[in-house]
Each structure stands twice: as structure tokens, then as C-alpha cells.
Chains A and B, each alone.
Chain A
Amino acid sequence: MNGGRSIILNRIREALRNNPAPRPHTSHSQTEAAAGHNGHAQREWLPQVGTTLPEQIDLFAKISEGLRTECHRVPTIEAAREVLAKLSAESGWKKIGSHSHHDTDSLLQGIGLPVVRTEKGYAIDDLESCDAGVTGCEVLVAQTGGIMVSVETAGGRALSVLPPHHVVIARTSQMVPDLTAAFEHVKRKYGKQFPSFLSFITGPSRTGDIERILVLGAHGPKRLTVLLID
């Protein structure tokens, strides 16, 4: 069945045999060695991030704000509950989706709304008609002002993208400086048993496809709220 496999592999090997290509013209001699890799070469060129947590939190807040993410710093889970209640009242939520994970259970105590829970499976139309999706996250990334989610921390693949408002409950202890650190975290946590889905979410959904004019909420959530507990 997969005869194509040996055809392609043979073509590749033939193409590369005794047929070296010139190396790229690089201006930095370090990169040749770095390309051998310890995974940290990237850090030399990517945008700078402060080394202390307060610096990283500030950077995260600043960048995410520029991306129209609504970032609320709160001292406790109780305070987060109040913010959520306010959002619910303002937006007129009738039904929300969520999953059982660390702080989401605590956050949703007393929310007074029907909750579609996804962790044991769900009906698509049920989730599609939710006004908001409330999830946790793996880490927050200071460098990009975004978060990383996974199956476990966001209740599957669809909960964080189908409802029109995505709310994330996170703690500042989950902050990592940059993308490299986010990948290190994922490798440490999941070893070789990676989940089938990991995603960096950097702001609410958007498009510039019509006359290059920015519109939020193209298909994914129009609003992204991060409740960040100190």
C-alpha cells in the first residue's frame, strides 16, 4: 500500500548522495555551531525578556493588552469569582462551558449558570451554544503575551475556541519567560506521552483578510479574558 514511501525515500537519498549544497551565508559564525543545538541558541536572537517574575508579569500584561486580551490581576480565587460574575452579568451569559481542573472548579462555585462540562465528552451543539468557555492553561508566556493550553488544561480541543468568549484562570507561578521555556515545560511534564493537542493562544481571534483591516472574532473567540491570580 505504501509503495510511495520507498519511492520517495529513494528519490531523497539519490538527490542527496554525493551532492552537497553550499551552506547558507551566515554573518554569525556562532550559529553554525549553535545549529548543532542545545535548544538555547534561539534565545540569543529572540526578543528580550526580564529575568524576574514581576518584570515578566508586567511584560505579559503590556503585550497582551496590546493584543486586546483582557488581563485582570486578582489577589485570590474569590476575587477572580467576582470578576467572572461581573463579566457574566454584563454579557448576559445564559450557559457556559468548562472542565474540571485545578482552579476551574473553584472559580465556578456559585456561578449560577448551567455549565457544559467537556472532560467526559459532550454534544457539539451543547458546546456551540455556550456563551463562554472557561479553562485553565499550561503556562503563560511573558515574551509573547500569550498562553499555552493543552487537552488536560483546557478541557479538550474545542472548549477554548468554539464559544465566543474564552476565559482563562491562571496563577502567576505559571508564568514562563519565553517560548523556549514553554517547550521545556511541556517536555518535562509530558515526557514521551504528549497529548494530541497543544496550542499557543496569543490574543482573541482576528483576521485582516478584508482590505487588510483588523477584525476581531473571525472564527475563534472574539474576547479573551485572563484572570491572573497572584
Chain B
Amino acid sequence: MATQASDFQTLSRRYTADKPFRAFIQKALGGYYTKRDENKANFRDWQGARDLAAETKYEAVNHLDKYLLEFEQKITARGAKVFWAPNAEAARDYILKIAKENGVRSIIKSKTMTSEEIHLNDALEKQGFGVFESDLGEYIVQLRKEAPFHLVFPAMHLTRGQISDLFQKELGSEATDEPERLTMIARDVMRRKYCEADMGISGTNFAVAETGMISITENEGNARLTTSLPRIHVALLGIEKVLPRLEDLSLFLPMLATAGAGQTMTCYNTMYAGPRQPGEPDGPEQMHIVLLDNRRTELLADAEQRDALGCIRCGACLNVCPIFKNVGGYSYGTTYGGPIGSVITPHLRGLKDWKHLSAASSLCGACTEACPVKIDLHHHLLQNRRNGAKAAPNPLEKITFGGFSMMMGRPALYRLAAGLGRIFQPLQGLVNGTILDPLRAWTGSRKFPKLASTSFHEQWRKERGGRK
């Protein structure tokens, strides 16, 4: 029976075997490092900035109710409606209700991973609403009926040839191998959609409590268009996105751009404080904020891992993760992949079914090093493993480690076992690499070292004598 864990094994095996694909992904990410380091160097003190960002998120997350209430009060005073959604279903139902009540037919969306999380598009389409993704990468994967490959770069796994074929097939456009031409094709399609859509659905990068604003960071301009022309704006955000003060954005906007895309600032960083106000010439008549819990409060309750709620969804941890770089975004089977996904998915979707993502890591710590808000990512993977072993121990592992600990708990027994190992190693040599080889997971691709003829223990005792 396929489980999430076995799916991961199957998918990761497939993707790691695809060497050209791996090379393509790594090339795509290569430029990120250079740009990111250039922009980090612009900061007077990148580590100091991280410290301040971590402290600010600590303050926000540990006083979450206070800041959410302040945010709600300020933005509703300007006419926005705030809906608190305890789970995905409530969020979907609310958005559907607004669409139905307002005679909405066509919906345009800007990038929001939160909408992926709640499977919003599916629900809207089933009810007969036309939904168009305006972000170029999201639009491409929507046409291919695929999920986004990466938090920030949804279509990074596709070549221009694949995208050209896709547009030819779905849009009837001419074949081209120029990224510029392909972008213009998508732009032309979208322009009509912006002008015709009744409702625009966006995500939110940050919600500011002090002034009652939401902030959206982007490069393309599609979020600005999504939130300017349609008569209804729905903004979706996880409850953890709230920041205390407007000034906090002067730190977070450049940090998000640097860590996420290697830019000092992205092209557009827009703060929305409500629907169209009296006297304003355009903008939506209605603005709805959907605050989503969907088990984030369970992560909040885990004080050890609460800092994971500080995530600004920059994707830096994915970009530096050697696992991600070799297995790609689809192997994870979740909305949020990479290190942050491996940390939070057990909380958001269940420990038993998702603890394997925390095991599929060498704990190298590159993610923790890269995280702009200093989430202790790789240590949280260890904690998930501990929690997983307690809640649902793997019987074989429990026995093996029980035996291991018994052996290592008695040094004399350990030395005896090592001696026995020497006797059996030649037997392993006979079956090396075959189906009978107990070490074949290793020996399939690497040589296994021979046990030394005598251990250091034995040699020391012989040369230096006596017990110490």
C-alpha cells in the first residue's frame, strides 16, 4: 500500500536518477547564489539584520492574538472585511460565498501558496468559476495541470522548449525558443483577464498590525493588476504573517528580496490598507481578508518549534538544500517542500504520515544558515524525528537501536561485537552488491571499507599497555 513515505522514496529515486534534470535544476539555482551574496554584501551587517528579523518575528508570533486583533481593527475601520478561517474548508466556503453573492464569473489570481494549501482553485473551478493564474510561473504550471515546483519559482523545472510546446498546444501560439517572446505571449493573454475579471485573489507576504495594511512583494506586476482592476479583492494569508509595525517592512522587504531572489528590492512592494476609499479613482469596492489557521495553532503550541511560524516563504532554504537540489520540488508531495516544508508538514498534516520528510535529510544545516529569520530548521528535523519515534516507532528501528544501545552501553560487549564483525566481513564480501548483500544500499554506488584488522582499542592496549 502506497504511503506518503513510500511515494517520497519512489519519486526521489526517479528524480535523482535523472541526471540531466538534476543538472538543469542546479544550473537554474546557480545564479541565485551569486546574486544573493552580492546583495547580502550590500547590507551593512547581514547577520545583524537576521538577528533583528528573528527578534521581530519572535515578538509577533509570541503575541499573535494581540497583533491580529490590532490588524483587524485597523483594516476594518477602512471598510475591509476580515474572515477568520479555522480550517481550509471554512476558507474555501467563505471565498465561494463571496463569489456567488456578488455574481462573480471570472477570477484572476496572483501568486499565493496558501491557496495551493487549501486547494482553492479546484473548489472554485468545480463550482463553475473561471480561475486564471496571472503569475507567469503559476500560469505555466496551471496550463500543465501541475503543482508549483518551488515556493518562489513555480516553473523552474521546465525548459523554454517545453513552455513553447505548452503555449502552442493550449494557446495556439507560434513556436519560439525566446523567453522574452514566451513572456509576451502570456502577458497578452493576461491583460484581457485583468480587465475582465470580477474578483482578484491574492496572497499576502506581510500584514502590518500598527497601520492595518497587507503587503505584497512581486516582480511582475501581476499582483498589482489583480488587486487594482477587479471590483472585489480577496487576500488570503496564514495567521502567522502579521508584523507589529510599519517600520518592520523596511527590514523585511529587502531581506525577503535578498534571500528569496538575490535582489535588493523586488520591483513592486505594495501596501493595501483597505478597499477603494471615498474619493479614490479606482480600486476594488470590496476587500476581504481571509485569515487562515489550518493547524498553524498546533505549531504555535509546540514551543520548541514555534519559530517556524516566522517563515517569510522566501525559499532560501530550498535554494541551498542539497536534498532539494537533487530530488526537486515534486518529490515532497506537499504544498510546502524543502527544509521548511519538512519541518512544518508534520504539524499541519500529521506527524505519523509526514515524519519521513524529516528523516530524508543529512542534517547539513545549510538551511538554518540561510534562513533570514533564523529558524532552527535542521534541529527541528531532529526534533520531529524524536517526536515521530515516540509517537510511532518503527519496530525494526526500535529493536536495532535497542540492541545498539545495549551493546554500546557495555564497552566490553561492543569490543566483542566488533571482533565478531571481523569474522563476518569476508562473508559480506562474497555477496557484495548482490541482492543478498545486507549493505547493498551502500555498496550499490560506493565501496564499503574493510574493518581494520585490529581496532584502535586493541592497538593502544598492545602498544601502551594497561587500562586507563
Contact = CB atoms under 8 A, between A and B. Distances in A.
A89 interface: no
Nearest to B32: A212
Given A187-B246, A205-B219, A211 B264 contact: no
B269 interface: yes
Nearest to A202: B265
A161 B221 contact: yes
A90 interface: no
Contacts of B283: 151, 156-157, 196-197
B225 A219 contact: yes
B84 A4 contact: yes
B58 A21 contact: yes
A108 to B, nearest CB: 17
B225 A158 contact: yes
Secondary structure at the A interface, as helix, strand, loop or mixed, is: loop
Given A24-B51, A128-B191, A45 B229 contact: no
B297 interface: yes
A8 B281 contact: no
Contact of A207 (B29, B160, B220, B225): B220
B86 A45 contact: no
A202 B266 contact: yes
Interface in B260-282: 261, 264-277, 280-282
Nearest to B41: A47
A-side interface size class = 35 or more
Interface of B: 28-29, 31-32, 42-49, 51-52, 54-56, 58-59, 61-65, 68-69, 78, 83-86, 90, 134-137, 140, 153-156, 158-160, 163, 179-180, 182-184, 187, 190-191, 194-195, 211-213, 219-222, 224-225, 227-229, 239, 244-251, 253-254, 261, 264-277, 280-283, 287, 291, 293, 297-298, 300-301, 303-304, 306-307, 374
5 contacts: A4-B293, A21-B304, A120-B281, A156-B283, A207-B136
Given A35-B55, A157-B228, A218-B219, 11 more contacts: A9-B68, A12-B68, A12-B239, A15-B300, A46-B49, A156-B282, A183-B250, A205-B268, A209-B153, A212-B32, A217-B187
Interface of A: 2, 4-5, 7-9, 11-16, 19-28, 31-32, 34-35, 37, 39, 41-42, 44-48, 63, 99, 118-122, 124-125, 128, 144-146, 151, 155-158, 161-162, 178-180, 182-183, 186-187, 194-213, 215, 217-221
